[in-house]
Structure 1
Protein backbone atom coordinates (compact mmCIF):
# COMPACT_ATOMS: atom_id res chain seq x y z
CA UNK A 1 0.00 0.00 0.00
CA UNK A 2 1.31 3.45 -0.92
CA UNK A 3 1.82 5.86 2.04
CA UNK A 4 -0.70 8.66 2.38
CA UNK A 5 -0.34 12.20 3.70
CA UNK A 6 -1.88 11.02 7.00
CA UNK A 7 0.83 8.44 7.63
CA UNK A 8 3.60 9.45 10.11
CA UNK A 9 6.81 10.41 8.35
CA UNK A 10 5.07 10.95 5.00
CA UNK A 11 7.07 13.16 2.60
CA UNK A 12 5.65 14.47 -0.62
CA UNK A 13 7.98 13.23 -3.38
CA UNK A 14 7.53 16.52 -5.23
CA UNK A 15 9.46 18.37 -2.49
CA UNK A 16 11.79 15.68 -1.29
CA UNK A 17 14.49 16.47 -3.81
CA UNK A 18 14.30 20.19 -3.10
CA UNK A 19 14.82 19.63 0.62
CA UNK A 20 17.89 17.48 0.20
CA UNK A 21 21.08 19.46 0.94
CA UNK A 22 22.99 20.49 -2.13
CA UNK A 23 26.15 18.50 -2.70
CA UNK A 24 29.30 20.23 -1.42
CA UNK A 25 31.62 21.60 -3.99
CA UNK A 26 35.33 21.84 -3.47
CA UNK A 27 36.53 25.29 -2.43
CA UNK A 28 39.08 26.91 -4.67
CA UNK A 29 42.57 26.78 -3.16
CA UNK A 30 43.78 29.90 -1.35
CA UNK A 31 46.29 31.94 -3.31
CA UNK A 32 49.86 31.16 -2.36
CA UNK A 33 51.99 34.18 -1.50
CA UNK A 34 55.23 34.33 -3.41
CA UNK A 35 58.09 32.95 -1.38
CA UNK A 36 60.23 35.91 -2.38
CA UNK A 37 58.23 38.47 -0.37
CA UNK A 38 59.52 37.60 3.12
CA UNK A 39 63.05 37.23 1.76
CA UNK A 40 62.88 40.61 0.04
CA UNK A 41 61.47 42.24 3.17
CA UNK A 42 64.28 40.68 5.20
CA UNK A 43 66.95 41.94 2.83
CA UNK A 44 65.46 45.43 2.85
CA UNK A 45 65.38 45.44 6.67
CA UNK A 46 68.99 44.28 6.82
CA UNK A 47 70.10 46.94 4.34
CA UNK A 48 68.18 49.60 6.27
CA UNK A 49 69.88 48.56 9.52
CA UNK A 50 73.29 48.60 7.82
CA UNK A 51 72.68 52.05 6.35
CA UNK A 52 71.60 53.42 9.73
CA UNK A 53 74.76 52.04 11.30
CA UNK A 54 76.84 53.61 8.52
CA UNK A 55 75.15 56.96 9.12
CA UNK A 56 75.68 56.78 12.88
CA UNK A 57 79.36 55.88 12.57
CA UNK A 58 80.08 58.43 9.83
CA UNK A 59 80.90 55.77 7.24
CA UNK A 60 78.36 57.60 5.07
CA UNK A 61 79.41 61.22 5.38
CA UNK A 62 77.06 64.22 5.52
CA UNK A 63 76.99 66.10 2.23
CA UNK A 64 78.24 63.14 0.18
CA UNK A 65 76.09 61.52 -2.51
CA UNK A 66 75.89 57.74 -2.89
CA UNK A 67 74.32 55.76 -5.72
CA UNK A 68 72.09 52.76 -5.09
CA UNK A 69 74.17 50.45 -7.35
CA UNK A 70 77.39 51.38 -5.52
CA UNK A 71 75.81 50.77 -2.12
CA UNK A 72 74.26 47.53 -3.38
CA UNK A 73 77.72 46.30 -4.38
CA UNK A 74 79.07 47.27 -0.97
CA UNK A 75 76.37 45.30 0.85
CA UNK A 76 76.23 42.41 -1.59
CA UNK A 77 72.64 42.85 -2.73
CA UNK A 78 70.64 44.23 -5.63
CA UNK A 79 69.92 47.97 -5.96
CA UNK A 80 66.17 47.54 -5.30
CA UNK A 81 66.29 46.95 -1.53
CA UNK A 82 68.89 49.71 -1.25
CA UNK A 83 66.58 52.18 -2.99
CA UNK A 84 63.66 51.09 -0.80
CA UNK A 85 65.73 51.49 2.36
CA UNK A 86 67.00 54.87 1.19
CA UNK A 87 63.45 56.05 0.55
CA UNK A 88 62.66 55.17 4.15
CA UNK A 89 65.63 57.26 5.25
CA UNK A 90 64.42 60.09 3.01
CA UNK A 91 61.09 60.06 4.86
CA UNK A 92 63.01 60.27 8.14
CA UNK A 93 65.07 63.21 6.92
CA UNK A 94 68.41 61.38 7.12
CA UNK A 95 69.12 61.52 3.37
CA UNK A 96 67.91 63.48 0.37
CA UNK A 97 67.15 62.31 -3.15
CA UNK A 98 69.47 63.65 -5.85
CA UNK A 99 67.86 63.09 -9.30
CA UNK A 100 69.92 60.88 -11.62
CA UNK A 101 72.70 60.55 -9.04
CA UNK A 102 71.45 58.80 -5.92
CA UNK A 103 71.07 59.97 -2.35
CA UNK A 104 72.84 62.71 -0.44
CA UNK A 105 73.42 62.29 3.29
CA UNK A 106 71.75 65.15 5.11
CA UNK A 107 73.58 66.80 7.97
CA UNK A 108 71.83 68.97 10.46
CA UNK A 109 73.14 72.36 11.49
CA UNK A 110 73.57 73.62 15.05
CA UNK A 111 70.20 75.35 14.66
CA UNK A 112 68.56 72.10 13.52
CA UNK A 113 69.98 70.31 16.55
CA UNK A 114 68.78 73.00 18.95
CA UNK A 115 65.28 72.99 17.45
CA UNK A 116 65.01 69.21 17.58
CA UNK A 117 66.18 69.21 21.19
CA UNK A 118 63.61 71.87 22.08
CA UNK A 119 60.77 69.90 20.50
CA UNK A 120 61.87 66.64 22.12
CA UNK A 121 62.06 68.30 25.52
CA UNK A 122 58.61 69.86 25.09
CA UNK A 123 57.21 66.42 24.25
CA UNK A 124 59.12 64.11 26.57
CA UNK A 125 59.81 66.07 29.76
CA UNK A 126 56.12 66.55 30.72
CA UNK A 127 55.50 62.86 29.96
CA UNK A 128 58.43 61.79 32.16
CA UNK A 129 57.20 64.03 34.99
CA UNK A 130 53.76 62.41 34.79
CA UNK A 131 55.43 59.02 35.04
CA UNK A 132 57.45 60.18 38.04
CA UNK A 133 54.18 60.90 39.85
CA UNK A 134 52.44 57.65 38.96
CA UNK A 135 54.90 54.80 38.36
CA UNK A 136 55.91 52.71 41.42
CA UNK A 137 59.64 53.02 42.26
CA UNK A 138 60.32 49.31 41.61
CA UNK A 139 59.18 49.62 37.99
CA UNK A 140 62.21 51.74 37.18
CA UNK A 141 64.45 48.75 37.87
CA UNK A 142 63.10 47.21 34.67
CA UNK A 143 64.86 49.93 32.68
CA UNK A 144 68.24 49.47 34.37
CA UNK A 145 69.50 46.85 31.85
CA UNK A 146 68.66 49.24 29.01
CA UNK A 147 70.57 52.05 30.71
CA UNK A 148 73.52 49.68 31.23
CA UNK A 149 73.43 48.75 27.52
CA UNK A 150 74.02 52.40 26.60
CA UNK A 151 77.00 52.54 28.97
CA UNK A 152 78.47 49.36 27.47
CA UNK A 153 78.21 50.70 23.92
CA UNK A 154 79.50 54.13 24.88
CA UNK A 155 82.48 52.78 26.80
CA UNK A 156 83.93 51.22 23.64
CA UNK A 157 82.98 54.16 21.42
CA UNK A 158 80.51 52.14 19.33
CA UNK A 159 78.34 54.95 17.98
CA UNK A 160 75.98 52.69 16.05
CA UNK A 161 75.33 50.44 19.06
CA UNK A 162 74.96 53.47 21.31
CA UNK A 163 72.45 55.12 19.00
CA UNK A 164 70.33 51.96 18.97
CA UNK A 165 70.61 51.39 22.74
CA UNK A 166 69.80 55.04 23.40
CA UNK A 167 66.59 54.80 21.36
CA UNK A 168 65.73 51.58 23.15
CA UNK A 169 66.01 53.22 26.57
CA UNK A 170 63.89 56.22 25.64
CA UNK A 171 61.34 54.03 23.86
CA UNK A 172 60.91 51.83 26.93
CA UNK A 173 60.66 54.89 29.17
CA UNK A 174 57.90 56.51 27.13
CA UNK A 175 56.11 53.19 26.58
CA UNK A 176 55.21 53.33 30.28
CA UNK A 177 52.86 56.22 29.43
CA UNK A 178 50.69 53.83 27.42
CA UNK A 179 50.51 56.41 24.63
CA UNK A 180 51.55 54.67 21.41
CA UNK A 181 51.40 57.83 19.32
CA UNK A 182 53.70 59.60 21.75
CA UNK A 183 56.20 56.75 21.45
CA UNK A 184 56.10 56.82 17.63
CA UNK A 185 56.46 60.59 17.33
CA UNK A 186 59.20 60.75 19.95
CA UNK A 187 61.21 57.99 18.27
CA UNK A 188 60.94 59.72 14.90
CA UNK A 189 62.31 62.92 16.45
CA UNK A 190 64.99 60.90 18.22
CA UNK A 191 66.20 59.38 14.94
CA UNK A 192 66.36 62.79 13.34
CA UNK A 193 68.35 64.15 16.25
CA UNK A 194 70.89 61.33 15.77
CA UNK A 195 71.70 62.46 12.23
CA UNK A 196 75.35 63.56 12.17
CA UNK A 197 75.98 67.27 12.09
CA UNK A 198 76.72 68.82 8.70
CA UNK A 199 80.09 70.06 9.91
CA UNK A 200 81.11 66.46 10.61
CA UNK A 201 81.67 66.80 14.36
CA UNK A 202 80.83 63.66 16.33
CA UNK A 203 81.05 62.90 20.03
CA UNK A 204 84.07 61.02 21.30
CA UNK A 205 83.95 58.11 23.68
CA UNK A 206 84.07 60.37 26.75
CA UNK A 207 81.06 62.37 25.58
CA UNK A 208 79.09 59.25 24.69
CA UNK A 209 79.85 57.79 28.12
CA UNK A 210 78.79 60.98 29.89
CA UNK A 211 75.49 60.94 28.01
CA UNK A 212 74.96 57.24 28.78
CA UNK A 213 75.52 57.74 32.51
CA UNK A 214 72.74 60.34 32.51
CA UNK A 215 70.26 57.52 31.90
CA UNK A 216 71.17 55.91 35.23
CA UNK A 217 71.05 59.29 36.99
CA UNK A 218 67.56 59.90 35.59
CA UNK A 219 66.40 56.49 36.82
CA UNK A 220 67.75 57.26 40.30
CA UNK A 221 65.77 60.51 40.38
CA UNK A 222 62.64 58.71 39.19
CA UNK A 223 63.02 56.04 41.88
CA UNK A 224 63.30 58.67 44.58
CA UNK A 225 60.38 60.68 43.20
CA UNK A 226 62.46 63.88 43.11
CA UNK A 227 60.46 65.84 40.53
CA UNK A 228 62.86 68.79 40.49
CA UNK A 229 65.81 66.53 39.75
CA UNK A 230 63.80 64.58 37.17
CA UNK A 231 62.90 67.72 35.24
CA UNK A 232 66.43 69.09 35.42
CA UNK A 233 68.07 65.84 34.34
CA UNK A 234 65.58 65.09 31.56
CA UNK A 235 65.82 68.60 30.11
CA UNK A 236 69.61 68.54 30.27
CA UNK A 237 69.87 65.06 28.82
CA UNK A 238 67.62 65.85 25.86
CA UNK A 239 69.87 68.76 24.99
CA UNK A 240 67.32 71.55 25.32
CA UNK A 241 70.28 73.77 26.22
CA UNK A 242 71.78 74.72 22.79
CA UNK A 243 75.26 74.02 24.12
CA UNK A 244 74.18 70.41 24.69
CA UNK A 245 72.39 69.82 21.38
CA UNK A 246 75.21 69.79 18.89
CA UNK A 247 76.12 66.12 18.62
CA UNK A 248 72.60 64.70 18.74
CA UNK A 249 73.18 61.25 20.22
CA UNK A 250 70.74 61.37 23.14
Structure 2
Protein backbone atom coordinates (compact mmCIF):
# COMPACT_ATOMS: atom_id res chain seq x y z
CA UNK A 1 0.00 0.00 0.00
CA UNK A 2 1.36 3.39 -0.96
CA UNK A 3 2.16 5.70 1.97
CA UNK A 4 0.34 9.00 2.15
CA UNK A 5 2.43 12.04 1.32
CA UNK A 6 3.57 13.97 4.42
CA UNK A 7 1.63 17.08 5.25
CA UNK A 8 2.22 20.18 7.32
CA UNK A 9 5.32 22.30 7.87
CA UNK A 10 7.66 19.29 8.08
CA UNK A 11 6.74 18.35 4.52
CA UNK A 12 7.65 21.81 3.23
CA UNK A 13 11.06 22.27 4.86
CA UNK A 14 13.71 19.63 4.06
CA UNK A 15 15.88 18.61 7.03
CA UNK A 16 19.04 19.47 5.10
CA UNK A 17 17.89 23.06 4.61
CA UNK A 18 17.06 23.44 8.32
CA UNK A 19 20.50 22.16 9.28
CA UNK A 20 22.17 24.47 6.78
CA UNK A 21 20.28 27.44 8.19
CA UNK A 22 21.39 26.39 11.68
CA UNK A 23 25.04 26.22 10.61
CA UNK A 24 24.79 29.61 8.93
CA UNK A 25 23.33 31.10 12.12
CA UNK A 26 26.06 29.59 14.27
CA UNK A 27 28.75 30.91 11.94
CA UNK A 28 27.11 34.35 11.90
CA UNK A 29 27.03 34.43 15.70
CA UNK A 30 30.68 33.35 15.83
CA UNK A 31 31.71 36.02 13.32
CA UNK A 32 29.82 38.69 15.24
CA UNK A 33 31.61 37.64 18.43
CA UNK A 34 34.97 37.70 16.64
CA UNK A 35 34.17 41.17 15.36
CA UNK A 36 33.37 42.48 18.86
CA UNK A 37 36.42 40.76 20.37
CA UNK A 38 38.67 42.32 17.73
CA UNK A 39 39.68 38.95 16.28
CA UNK A 40 38.38 40.19 12.94
CA UNK A 41 40.66 43.17 12.46
CA UNK A 42 39.38 46.35 10.77
CA UNK A 43 40.97 46.74 7.35
CA UNK A 44 41.97 43.07 7.06
CA UNK A 45 40.66 40.80 4.29
CA UNK A 46 39.31 37.33 5.12
CA UNK A 47 38.43 34.58 2.67
CA UNK A 48 35.41 32.32 2.95
CA UNK A 49 37.42 29.08 2.60
CA UNK A 50 39.96 30.13 5.27
CA UNK A 51 37.25 31.04 7.75
CA UNK A 52 35.35 27.89 6.86
CA UNK A 53 38.42 25.83 7.73
CA UNK A 54 38.66 27.68 11.05
CA UNK A 55 35.05 26.86 11.92
CA UNK A 56 35.14 23.36 10.49
CA UNK A 57 32.47 24.07 7.87
CA UNK A 58 32.35 24.65 4.14
CA UNK A 59 32.87 28.10 2.69
CA UNK A 60 29.17 28.43 1.78
CA UNK A 61 27.70 29.21 5.24
CA UNK A 62 30.65 31.52 5.90
CA UNK A 63 29.98 33.48 2.72
CA UNK A 64 26.26 33.66 3.58
CA UNK A 65 27.06 34.93 7.07
CA UNK A 66 29.56 37.44 5.72
CA UNK A 67 26.98 38.71 3.25
CA UNK A 68 24.68 39.37 6.21
CA UNK A 69 27.48 41.28 7.93
CA UNK A 70 27.90 43.27 4.72
CA UNK A 71 24.21 44.21 4.85
CA UNK A 72 24.74 45.31 8.45
CA UNK A 73 27.69 47.46 7.40
CA UNK A 74 30.43 45.53 9.18
CA UNK A 75 32.30 44.24 6.12
CA UNK A 76 32.49 44.81 2.38
CA UNK A 77 32.53 42.15 -0.30
CA UNK A 78 35.62 41.98 -2.51
CA UNK A 79 34.96 39.86 -5.64
CA UNK A 80 37.35 36.91 -5.92
CA UNK A 81 39.17 38.01 -2.76
CA UNK A 82 36.84 37.69 0.21
CA UNK A 83 35.57 40.22 2.71
CA UNK A 84 37.25 43.26 4.24
CA UNK A 85 36.31 44.36 7.75
CA UNK A 86 35.37 48.01 7.46
CA UNK A 87 37.39 50.61 9.33
CA UNK A 88 35.20 52.81 11.48
CA UNK A 89 36.23 56.30 12.54
CA UNK A 90 35.80 57.81 16.02
CA UNK A 91 33.41 60.31 14.47
CA UNK A 92 31.23 57.50 13.12
CA UNK A 93 31.16 55.94 16.59
CA UNK A 94 30.23 59.26 18.19
CA UNK A 95 27.42 59.71 15.69
CA UNK A 96 26.05 56.25 16.50
CA UNK A 97 26.09 57.02 20.22
CA UNK A 98 24.33 60.33 19.61
CA UNK A 99 21.59 58.73 17.51
CA UNK A 100 21.11 55.97 20.08
CA UNK A 101 20.74 58.56 22.83
CA UNK A 102 18.25 60.56 20.77
CA UNK A 103 16.16 57.42 20.28
CA UNK A 104 16.44 55.65 23.60
CA UNK A 105 16.70 58.32 26.30
CA UNK A 106 13.34 60.05 25.61
CA UNK A 107 11.59 56.69 25.35
CA UNK A 108 13.09 55.42 28.60
CA UNK A 109 12.19 58.63 30.42
CA UNK A 110 8.62 58.33 29.16
CA UNK A 111 8.48 54.72 30.28
CA UNK A 112 9.89 55.73 33.67
CA UNK A 113 6.71 57.73 34.24
CA UNK A 114 4.25 55.08 33.05
CA UNK A 115 5.62 51.56 33.63
CA UNK A 116 4.80 50.05 37.06
CA UNK A 117 7.53 49.00 39.48
CA UNK A 118 6.83 45.28 39.09
CA UNK A 119 7.50 45.47 35.33
CA UNK A 120 10.88 47.10 35.98
CA UNK A 121 11.65 44.52 38.69
CA UNK A 122 11.07 41.75 36.13
CA UNK A 123 14.12 43.03 34.22
CA UNK A 124 16.51 42.35 37.11
CA UNK A 125 17.70 39.04 35.55
CA UNK A 126 18.63 40.89 32.35
CA UNK A 127 20.65 43.44 34.33
CA UNK A 128 22.26 40.64 36.34
CA UNK A 129 23.27 38.89 33.10
CA UNK A 130 25.27 41.96 32.06
CA UNK A 131 26.96 42.05 35.46
CA UNK A 132 27.90 38.36 35.21
CA UNK A 133 29.38 38.72 31.73
CA UNK A 134 31.28 41.84 32.83
CA UNK A 135 32.70 40.12 35.91
CA UNK A 136 33.93 37.29 33.69
CA UNK A 137 35.56 39.76 31.31
CA UNK A 138 33.58 38.15 28.47
CA UNK A 139 33.47 40.95 25.91
CA UNK A 140 31.34 39.18 23.30
CA UNK A 141 29.03 37.80 25.99
CA UNK A 142 28.72 41.25 27.49
CA UNK A 143 27.83 42.72 24.11
CA UNK A 144 24.96 40.23 23.76
CA UNK A 145 23.73 40.76 27.33
CA UNK A 146 23.99 44.55 26.97
CA UNK A 147 21.83 44.55 23.84
CA UNK A 148 19.36 42.17 25.49
CA UNK A 149 18.95 44.46 28.50
CA UNK A 150 18.32 47.54 26.37
CA UNK A 151 15.97 45.54 24.14
CA UNK A 152 13.89 44.41 27.11
CA UNK A 153 13.66 47.96 28.45
CA UNK A 154 12.56 49.41 25.11
CA UNK A 155 10.13 46.53 24.53
CA UNK A 156 8.07 47.83 27.45
CA UNK A 157 7.00 50.66 25.13
CA UNK A 158 5.37 48.24 22.70
CA UNK A 159 7.03 49.72 19.59
CA UNK A 160 8.59 46.80 17.71
CA UNK A 161 10.08 49.03 15.01
CA UNK A 162 11.87 51.13 17.61
CA UNK A 163 13.24 48.02 19.31
CA UNK A 164 14.58 46.70 15.99
CA UNK A 165 16.15 49.98 14.86
CA UNK A 166 17.69 50.71 18.27
CA UNK A 167 19.03 47.17 18.47
CA UNK A 168 20.79 47.47 15.12
CA UNK A 169 22.33 50.81 16.10
CA UNK A 170 23.44 49.27 19.38
CA UNK A 171 25.11 46.36 17.57
CA UNK A 172 26.99 48.73 15.28
CA UNK A 173 28.19 50.79 18.23
CA UNK A 174 29.88 47.66 19.63
CA UNK A 175 32.22 47.18 16.66
CA UNK A 176 35.88 47.93 17.40
CA UNK A 177 37.66 51.17 16.70
CA UNK A 178 41.05 50.61 14.99
CA UNK A 179 44.12 51.39 17.04
CA UNK A 180 42.27 51.41 20.36
CA UNK A 181 42.28 48.60 22.94
CA UNK A 182 39.04 46.78 23.51
CA UNK A 183 37.20 47.57 26.77
CA UNK A 184 38.68 45.79 29.75
CA UNK A 185 36.92 44.09 32.64
CA UNK A 186 36.79 47.28 34.74
CA UNK A 187 35.01 49.22 31.98
CA UNK A 188 32.49 46.44 31.48
CA UNK A 189 31.82 46.15 35.22
CA UNK A 190 31.23 49.90 35.46
CA UNK A 191 28.85 49.83 32.51
CA UNK A 192 26.92 46.88 33.95
CA UNK A 193 26.69 48.63 37.32
CA UNK A 194 24.88 51.48 35.57
CA UNK A 195 22.27 48.99 34.33
CA UNK A 196 21.63 47.79 37.87
CA UNK A 197 21.54 51.31 39.32
CA UNK A 198 19.23 52.53 36.55
CA UNK A 199 16.84 49.66 37.11
CA UNK A 200 16.70 50.29 40.87
CA UNK A 201 15.98 53.99 40.22
CA UNK A 202 13.16 53.02 37.87
CA UNK A 203 11.72 50.53 40.37
CA UNK A 204 11.64 53.18 43.09
CA UNK A 205 10.38 55.88 40.68
CA UNK A 206 13.46 58.01 41.37
CA UNK A 207 13.15 59.97 38.11
CA UNK A 208 15.98 62.51 38.69
CA UNK A 209 18.46 59.70 39.34
CA UNK A 210 17.16 57.69 36.38
CA UNK A 211 17.55 60.65 34.04
CA UNK A 212 21.08 61.38 35.27
CA UNK A 213 22.10 57.73 34.89
CA UNK A 214 20.64 57.54 31.39
CA UNK A 215 22.60 60.52 30.13
CA UNK A 216 25.79 59.23 31.78
CA UNK A 217 25.28 55.73 30.40
CA UNK A 218 25.21 56.87 26.80
CA UNK A 219 28.22 59.14 27.12
CA UNK A 220 30.45 56.67 28.95
CA UNK A 221 29.45 53.36 27.32
CA UNK A 222 32.53 51.20 26.54
CA UNK A 223 33.62 51.38 22.90
Q: TM-score, normalised by structure 1?
A: 0.82
Larger radius of gyration: 1
Aligned to 1:166, the other structure's residue is in SS state helix
Unaligned runs of 5+ in 2: none
Aligned position for 1:48: 28
CA distance in 2, matches of 1:65, 1:186: 29
Aligned to 1:238, the other structure's residue is in SS state helix
Given that 1:107 and 1:199 are in contact with CA atoms closer than 8 Å, whether structure 2 keeps it comes out as: no
Task: For 1:39-78, list aligned pairs within 5 A.
Answer: 39-78=19-58
Aligned position for 1:34: 14
Aligned to 1:96, the other structure's residue is in SS state strand
Task: For 1:149-160, list aligned pairs within 5 A.
Answer: 149-160=129-140
- Quickly say closer, same or farther: Cα 1:234–1:107, change in 2 above 3 A: farther
Pick one of 191, 199, 208 that aligns with 1:219.
199
Aligned position for 1:118: 98
Aligned position for 1:19: none
Deviations along 1:50-81, one digit per CA (max 9) or x if unpaired, are 11111111111122110011000000111111
Aligned to 2:43, the other structure's residue is in SS state coil
Aligned position for 2:124: 144
Matched, 1:174 2:164: no
Matched, 1:236 2:211: no
CA distance in 1, matches of 2:136, 2:5: 58
CA distance in 2, matches of 1:123, 1:189: 10
- Quickly say closer, same or farther: Cα 1:100–1:169, change in 2 above 3 A: same
* Larger helix fraction of residues: 2
Please list every run of at least 4 consecutive aligned residues from structure 1 whose deviation after the TM superposition is greater than 6 angstroms. Answer: none
Report how many residues are paired.
217
Unaligned runs of 5+ in 1: 1-26
Q: TM-score, normalised by structure 2?
A: 0.92
Aligned position for 1:207: 187
Deviation at 1:29, TM superposition (A): 7.0
